[in-house]
Structure 1
Amino acid sequence: MGRYDRDADPVEFGRLVALTDGVFAIALTLLVLDLAIPAQAADAPLAEALADTAPRFFAFVISVAVVGTFFLSHHELLSMLQKVDGGLLGLTIPYLGLIALIPFVQSVLSDRPEENLAFALYGILLGCASIMGALMLWHAHRRGLLRQPLVGRNAWFEVARSGLPIVLFLSSAGLALLIGEWAVLFWVAIWPIDAVLARLQRREA
């Protein structure tokens, strides 16, 4: 498979954008389907029934934030690309497959919030998706697909920002077996740390 240039082959390049946008949109839509009053609480007073949905709502909020973060990260990668090739497309498919699994692990977490393994499973999935995201950036850099090559301090910041979620998500997966829901704090920590790194990166530009 050859290369497709953003300017010379806008239709082919646009197909990649359309595919990724579609998968993210469907994943976000599927998340809300897990929000329902548990069957055992159907006859309870409304306030009590709504309280029983708390674990599902917690999983929903976390999942929306996670999918949104991955979408913004991938959007940033697409904005950096000038070309796409077969290798990048090959990496994109399993990446999107992992994103598509997020509603499933959200459902597991909603149904079994008391089990540490549910949080560990979620962390493993997010860590794997982060690895695929980093591989796509590395491939694009190595194959000269970026509008501007990553050099100097800019390259360091991109490595740091790509590696941050890998480390924290996979670390949380292991610790989740011991601390359960507290492992989510590792996920939350990604956002402020990445925001600081992004701000420092812009200053260096």
Structure 2
Amino acid sequence: MAQQTGHGDQHRPDRLVALSDGVFAIAMTLLVLDISVPQGLDSAAYGEELGDLPPKLYAYALSFLIIGIFWLDHGRVLRGLRSVDRPLVAVTLLGLGLVALLPFPTSLISEYADEPASVAFYAANIAAMDLTQIGILVVRARRPWLNADPMPPALVGATVADLAASVVVFAASIPLAWLWGANAMLAWLLLVPLKTMTGRRRSAAVREAEADAADPAEPR
């Protein structure tokens, strides 16, 4: 029995992409609201307030970077859709909800970075966000009628590995937060070499998929 893909307005992938872009833009904008200096301060109090800004600026820059990377990854996992259905929309909305939530744990690490719960909450939020990206790929792999073209297994595997690197590192830092406090955030630096390796693997898979699409008579 043929699957119903639907061509109504609610099944258009461009609407889901547009909603996603709007959520990302709003979440990025909300991050800056935590950075402010009260009015009516004397010189001494003003200097103290400026001295308190670096942790807020660090948290802002970190979350802005993470949301930006997540937005790029989100575009990749939604690329090539022909239609959407409820399971795909549900997983996507879950991820967008976590993106919209991120300004809250960002404010926690900017104000209470020494509290283990702040670091753990932030790390859990990021890990869950990337898990939803993997969930989108799983839904698409199990519901191939949603895709305009078949998804190359090598490319899907490389993309999942790239996303999983973030999940593993941030999830591992959750228990470390209770041991090391704010120093557990240093574990996130492991993402630099890990994402470099997984990114190269994904780039190679993209080139292979493009080569196969250009010359399907000679599969690689």
Calculate the TM-score normalised by the size of structure 1. Answer: 0.86
Question: Does 1:202 pair with 2:203?
Answer: yes
Distance 1:102 1:167, change over 3 A: same
Give the match for residue 52 of structure 2: 52
Q: Where in structure 2 are the equivalents of 1:88-103 lying within 5 Å?
A: 88-103=88-103
Relative to the length of structure 2, the TM-score reads 0.80
Secondary structure of residue in 1 paired with 2:114: coil
The CA deviation at 1:36 is 1.3
Structure 1 runs (4+) deviating above 6 angstroms are 8-11
Residues 105-141 of structure 1: CA deviation (Å, up to 9, x unaligned)? 1112222122122111101111111111111111111
Q: Which entry has the higher C-alpha Rg, 1 or 2?
A: 2
Is the 8 Å Cα contact of residues 120 and 176 (structure 1) preserved in structure 2?
Answer: yes
Q: Indicate the percent of aligned positions where both proteins have the same amino acid.
A: 34
Alignment RMSD, CA only? 2.6
1:148-175 CA-to-partner distances (Å, cap 9, x unmatched) read 3232x33431231132111111111111
Question: Closer, same or farther in 2 for the Cα pair 1:110/1:184, shift >3 Å?
Answer: same
Which residue of 2 is the match for residue 3 of structure 1? 5
Q: One-letter code of the match for 2:123? A: G
What is the number of equivalent residue pairs in this alignment?
201
Q: Comparing 64-73 with 81-90, which one deviates more in the overlay?
A: 81-90
Give the distance between the partners of 2:110 and 2:75, measured in 1 at CA. 28
Structure 2: tracts of 5 or more residues without a match:
209-220
Extract unaligned runs of 5+ from structure 1: none
Separation in 1, partners of 2:35, 2:49: 12
**Equivalent in the alignment of 1:179:** 180
Change (3 A) 1:82 1:60: same
- Alpha-carbon shift at residue 195 of structure 1 (Å): 3.1
CA, structure 1 residues 77+173, in 2 after alignment: closer, same or farther (shift >3 Å)?
Answer: same
**Is the contact made by 1:88 and 1:136 (CA closer than 8 Å) also made in structure 2?**
yes
Structure 1: distance between partners of 2:69 and 2:88: 20
